[in-house]
Amino acid sequence: MNKESCSRELRIIPVPVQSDIRPGDDLAGKLLQALKHLGISLMDGDILVVKHKIVSKSEGRLVDLERIRPSASSRKWARRYKLDPRVTELALSQSKRVVRRKQGVLITQTRHGLVCANSGVDVSNVDGGRHALLLPTDPDRSALQLHGKLRKKLKLSIPVIISDSFGRPWREGLTEVAIGVAGMKPLHDYRSQRDPYGYALRVSVDAIADELACASGLLCGKLARTPACIIRGFRYRRGSGRARELIRPAKNDLFR
């Protein structure tokens, strides 16, 4: 299926979840409950985008900040830039590589291969500063689990995207990226195709899963309890895609 054969409109439907998500919660169940409350049913063709925070919370990826003992180096760095040294320490512990450490910004590559600030360790929208929240251990696996549970409960294949807000070089502001994907291809490749003028497309791979994450980011916000949304009307490519495919291999990384 091709996204361009589709000229119908696309809808992004917010899914507010009133109750807090706690470690061990059945996330699929909670989301379906929220949908029922809204009078919305998931349909074949829908894509579910979920902010990573509720996934991490349901998986118990909370760390009590009181229990972190920052190193001298983390304390020095944090003091210099008025940061919490415990968060710096935790971010370093979650990284496999420091990409940049400059002007108070710590950019790392996580064990998953994601490049982001503070290894994705976050203290906002958790519990007011007592705990930090880590990224899911394996966001693709988390997406696949949610996808599987929805299939079991609904007898439908609903692609799942788990998203987080990342900064990026050269441009201001955060945008959403797909850190976990299941049930769809995250990249659409046009390289074998020709444009309407017959010109063969060279560099034409679209990061569809990231664009879907961004679209959801317009409704799933930082201040409200809207940790998920449904994207309806997008002709995605079915298959066993993973967000890992969106991570550029080290050998092709021009910024190493």
Q: Which of residues 127-156 bind a second copy (CB under 8 A)?
A: 127-129
Scan for tokens 């909370």, then name that residue. Answer: 62
Cα 18-20-22 angle, rounded to 5 deg: 150
Which CB, 26 or 195, lies closer to a second copy?
Answer: 195
Min dist CB 166 to a second copy, Å, is 9
Q: Is 16 near a second copy (CB under 8 A)?
A: yes
Integer CA distances (angstroms), 170 to 2, 167, 173, 174, 206, in order: 32, 9, 10, 12, 20
CA distance 192 to 96: 36
Q: Is 69 among the residues that bind a second copy (CB under 8 A)?
A: no
Q: Which one of the spans 21-29, 56-64, 66-74, 215-223 is the region binding a second copy (CB under 8 A)? A: 215-223
Site string for a second copy, 188-207 (x = CB under 8 A): --x--x-xxxxx-xxxxxxx
Measured from the CB atom, is 100 or 152 closer to a second copy? Answer: 100
Helix (H) / strand (E) containing 93? helix 85-93
In the complex, minimum distance from the CB of residue 73 to a second copy, in angstroms, rounded to a whole number: 19
Q: Determine the 3-state secondary structure of 202 from DSSP.
A: coil
Indicate the burial class of 19 (C-beta count within 10 angstroms; 0-12, 13-18, 19 or more). Answer: exposed
d(CA 103, CA 89): 17
Q: What binding mask, one character per residue, do residues 71-100 give for a second copy by CB under 8 A, x or -?
A: -----------------------------x
Report in angstroms how near the CB of residue 148 gets to a second copy at its nearest: 25
